[in-house]
Amino acid sequence: MKKKMNVTAESSWKEVTPGGVITESGNAGDFRTGDWRSMKPVWNSEKCKQCLMCFPVCPDSSIKVCNGKMEGIDYDHCKGCGICAKVCPFDAIDFVEE
């Protein structure tokens, strides 16, 4: 994993930013939570009707929508909760073992 802000568990106190401030916004995106998965959502583009219901329900911002179109799943961050698969009205997302 990429170490951001050059601060790691091994860093000395001198390398820690004053006040514990995180100077980069939204850098949690560099942290992969995808390896938490035991189950995996699999999107089936032929079945997808582009209703976008899967988009707002994802706790991990892992439904990739570009220009109003569902384009797939961000497996770097998806934790495999299965909410998107259950919510999809067209059964276009399978939920399978990782």
State the residues that interact with ligand SF4 by CB under 6 A: 41, 43, 48-54, 57-60, 62-63, 70, 73, 78-84, 88, 90, 92-93
Cα separation, 79 vs 37, whole angstroms? 5
The verdict on 29 binding another protein (CB under 8 A) reads yes
The verdict on 73 binding another protein (CB under 8 A) reads no
Residue 44 contacts residue 85 (beta carbons within 8 Å): no
The verdict on 33 binding another protein (CB under 8 A) reads yes
Left if phi > 0, otherwise alpha if psi is -120 to 50, otherwise beta: which for 96? Answer: beta
Please name the residues in contact with 28: beta carbons below 8 A apart, sequence gap of 6 or more.
none
The verdict on 53 binding another protein (CB under 8 A) reads yes
Residue 45 interacting entry, from another protein, ligand SF4, none, C-beta within 5 to 8 Å by type: none
Helix (H) or strand (E) holding 94: strand 93-97
Question: Which residues of this chain interact with another protein, rule CB under 8 A?
Answer: 4-5, 7, 17, 20, 22, 24-33, 36-37, 52-53, 55-62, 65, 67-68, 74, 76-83, 85-87, 95
